[in-house]
Chain A
Amino acid sequence: MNELTKLTPKDFATDQEVRWCPGCGDYAVLKAVQRTMPDLGVKPENIVFVSGIGCSSRFPYYMETYGFHTIHGRAPAFATGVKLANPELDVWIITGDGDALSIGGNHTMHILRRNLDCQILLFNNEIYGLTKGQYSPTSRVGTRSPSTPFGSVDRPASPCAFALGSGARFIARAIDVNKFLPDVLKAAHRHKGAAFVEIFQNCIVYNDDVFAPFTAKENASNQLWLTQGEPMLFAGGTKGITLDREALTLKLVDVVDGNWQAAGVIVHDPKNRAVAHMLIDMPFGAFPMALGVIYDDPRPTFESAVIEQNAMASAGKSADLQLLVAKGQSWQVTKEPHAI
């Protein structure tokens, strides 16, 4: 560990010039990831960043680890091959809203249901940046873009609801410039299995301030940061979330003098899948934005099941090629063709 403790965020930065637009939220995420890495205790050579296509997918080029910049939407499939071929590797997937939910929606669904051990960081900026600003599957209704000059008419996908529905066992939300991002990343890394993290990332050029209603400093009171075992409080502890036991929905309550128990505020249990669903689905505006680790309930991973089955099926068997080629019903031809 001595050797590892010497590592600093700089050790995880490459000498490549970072080519995102000035002011892009991606810079903040890159810094947060580089800052988190030394704390994870994994050697750089055992880390692989796999990405698809899009602004965020350039990420691997800036990490001094192994990295594979692949094709649009397919990063989860490449990552699956990497992890099955070498389960010792620590695999991170970098993707965006178009990459993960539009062209690659199928792969996102399947990596989550299989539960491959990896971290999936979905940079959600609700826009196609690299192709110059078309609306994306997470853009809100009415988004004006080069392809929707009169406003988009289709309803957006909710990344976390998609993940939960696909069988994800770890779901978290974070904000590009927020100080809690490294904590969320660490929690994702601690989780054994597919850890899905939606990062609200500001696209300064095509979709600036789209998340400002909760990310702007003056709107911080609209952030509900969830912590295991802690009451669901926000707005400086003056408001909380409780369960409407008749309607079976969440509702807001005022908390007076910090007495959250009296207000009936519920305590966060990341293993409660039903509450996770309600937290993800809270309509923003009427409710705050649920952030942090929303759901965390591990179960056995895909690659461990594959390894176990491979070992079981191979037990006591030889890998002799000669045996393999001669398998099945065979017959000997002698020099003289024999009559039956």
Chain B
Amino acid sequence: MATATHFLTPEEAAADGPLESVVVRFAGDSGDGMQLTGGQFTLSTALAGNDLATFPDFPAEIRAPQGTTFGVSAFQINFGSSAIETAGDAPDVLIAMNPAALKTNVADLKPGGLIIADEGEFGARNLAKAGYEANPLEDGSLARWQLINFNISQLTLDAVKPFGLGNKEALRCKNMWTLGLALWMFDRDRAPIVEWVKNKFAKAPELAEANIAALNAGHAYGETAEIGGQLHQHHIDPAPAEPGLYRTVTGAESISIGLVAGAQMAGLKMFFGGYPITPASAILHHLSRLKEYGVTTFQAEDEIAAISSAIGAAYAGSLGVTSSSGPGIALKGEAMGLAIMTELPLVIINSQRGGPSTGLPTKTEQSDLYQAVYGRNGDAPMPVIAARSPADAFDCAIEAVRIATQYMTPVMLLTDGYIANAAEPWKVPDMAGYVPFPVTFHDRPPEEGEAVNPYARDNKLARVWIRPGTPGLTHRIGGIEKNVGTGHIDYAPANHQAMTEIRRDKVLGVADSIPDQEICLGDKGGKLVVVGWGSTFGPIHQAVRRMRKRAVDVSHVHIRYIWPMPNNLGDLLRSYDRIIVPEMNTGQLKTLLRDQYLVDARPVNKVSGQPFKISEIEAAIEQALQ
């Protein structure tokens, strides 16, 4: 059986064996606590041993006007008893907390899928706000799906009545009621959620009790309500996984702890300069709580100050790190050039979001690849690596630190809004298995008659790193071109040529320190290869797997090292008849591959702010093979 995401009727289930995976989407007003509900459901699902992937999808407005379609916040989770690599295509279950949530999400629901709606919110006012002329719960317009509706609002109010909350506060417990019902539907344990609620409301025990009561009431409702065959319980077996200790991790978390790990492996303190921007801020938030790991965080006055302070800290001997999203990365461009020119180690994280300018701040896209590889004045080469998933981002962060410190260069790590916010189970790594890469500062003063040369290089072309405070090695660096042999200002034509080539060769040389490009699925050579990078890993991998099960000759190659690329990549790509490159942009990696290898890489593009669906990649594969 494929790992497709199907919610089956009892008859179908009986015919096809047990359910393997289910996609559930919680949708409600941005004030309804849908992200929180989704997050807690994710936790209980992980604890039940299922593999899972999530997709939080929320509006840019913090509290858009209540009941409006643009204020709808959704959280999708795909979980199952086999490997899950995407948040799922079409949901099997949609939990709609109001008409706007129903309206904006129902079209995605699988035919025959289940809608659970809070009829208490389907009054005339909310229906009008969502643009419904008639109540969809009553007019038969949802006939393609299974519909169950009951007054969740009222049921919640009844459940929390003993705690004497105001109407507004009582209704806030709706999400917990809904979560209770969902936990019952999928046979999940309530205990960890109860624990979490008690912790969260430790200072307001009555709120904790009310929320727990709502949770229990939702659960009990599932157990006892007689709603016929529609609402019934499903059990999804745990996914087989490598034995070990697991936790859930979001991309923002794994990058933060990966940076801390990288700094420790380099033997450095970390300085993080950041400026609030969606969806990158979460990294600043995480790191600001890790001071015991030698992390100093600095919320700067703007994006430029954020990177500039990080470069200043790098000059002074710390690992400099800055993080932003596209618009902020654009502002940092000039300072990146200075870090390239002065050859200081720096990690720049770009959590990509949609569109130029402000674009789609909370949606995901991979459209900053050109910006990462090419987006600076002058010949300004910089290594770029891209994480494929929240868990992968941990190793990518360590790699970024390694390259930055070993090659004395800024490095850009690309993730995106999807990776930053999404959660997945992560096998806790054994840190003893990582090889440290300690930095050696240059501290030997020059011999009598010799001068300090801050641009003296090792065999990798990395220059020496001299910390201010080191006696006998005072020197000056800056953005003006420096003499190749002395480090003094030098505008001579031949010198600039030589320095430009050194900067280029140093960065290209990083390729010698990275692993060969592997094939994620399939074989070298064949009819078709699907080449991806970043967060499209899940849908590409699933699509290729499904096609291969149908005996289609297709392989999956996923590139982590965007610049420079692995030494074997050209040969590998040329071993296939055809190459397609699915990207959430208009074809940026495609351009890079064509430029580097003169191969006929064909684009498959999606720029809607939503991740690829597996079915979309499957269709692209079929089309490419026609």
Question: What is the interface of chain A, defined by CB distance below 8 A to chain B?
Answer: 14, 16, 43-46, 48, 50-51, 53, 60-61, 63-72, 74, 76-86, 88-89, 106-107, 109-110, 306, 309-310, 313-314, 317-319, 321-322, 324-335, 337-340
Contact = CB atoms under 8 A, between A and B. Distances in A.
B254 to A, nearest CB: 9
B474 A66 contact: yes
A242 B223 CA distance: 87
Contact of B243 (A328, A334, A340): A334
Interface stretch (B57-65, B347-355, B462-470): B462-470
**Interface of A (DSSP majority class):** mixed
A79 B306 CA distance: 12
Nearest 7 pairs between A and B by C-beta?
A: A81-B312, A69-B478, A77-B308, A81-B309, A67-B476, A78-B312, A85-B316
Interface of B: 43, 46-49, 187-189, 192, 237-248, 257, 260-261, 264, 269, 271, 273, 289-294, 296, 298, 300-302, 304-306, 308-318, 320, 334-335, 338, 342, 394, 428-432, 467-480, 488-489
Contact of B291 (A81, A83, A314, A338): A314
A84 B468 contact: no
A21 B424 CA distance: 62
Contact of A69 (B43, B291, B472, B480): B480
Given A107-B301, A310-B296, A313-B291, A321 B260 contact: yes
Contacts of A309: 291
Contact of A89 (B264, B301, B468, B488): B468
A84 B479 contact: no
Contact of B292 (A16, A314, A335): A314
15 contacts: A61-B476, A77-B305, A77-B308, A78-B308, A81-B311, A81-B312, A85-B318, A88-B469, A106-B301, A306-B298, A310-B291, A313-B291, A314-B292, A317-B292, A333-B241
A317 B386 CA distance: 32
A39 B197 CA distance: 62
A71 B479 contact: yes
B478 A329 contact: no
Contacts of A66: 468-469, 474-476
Contacts of A69: 476-480
B292 A319 contact: yes
A309 B313 CA distance: 18
Given A86-B317, A321-B431, A330-B246, A78 B311 contact: yes
A331 B46 contact: yes
B469 A45 contact: yes
A319 B47 contact: no
A89 B238 contact: no
Given A16-B489, A326-B428, A340-B187, A85 B313 contact: yes
B474 A45 contact: yes
Given A333-B244, A338-B238, 17 more contacts: A66-B469, A70-B338, A71-B335, A80-B298, A81-B310, A81-B312, A86-B469, A89-B468, A309-B291, A310-B296, A326-B428, A329-B43, A329-B248, A332-B244, A337-B239, A338-B49, A340-B238
Given A61-B476, A106-B302, A329-B247, A86 B468 contact: yes
Nearest to A72: B334
Given A70-B308, A106-B302, A60 B478 contact: yes
B246 A340 contact: no
A68 B293 contact: no
A340 B189 CA distance: 8
B302 to A, nearest CB: 6
B45 to A, nearest CB: 10
Contacts of B475: 66-67
Nearest to A81: B312
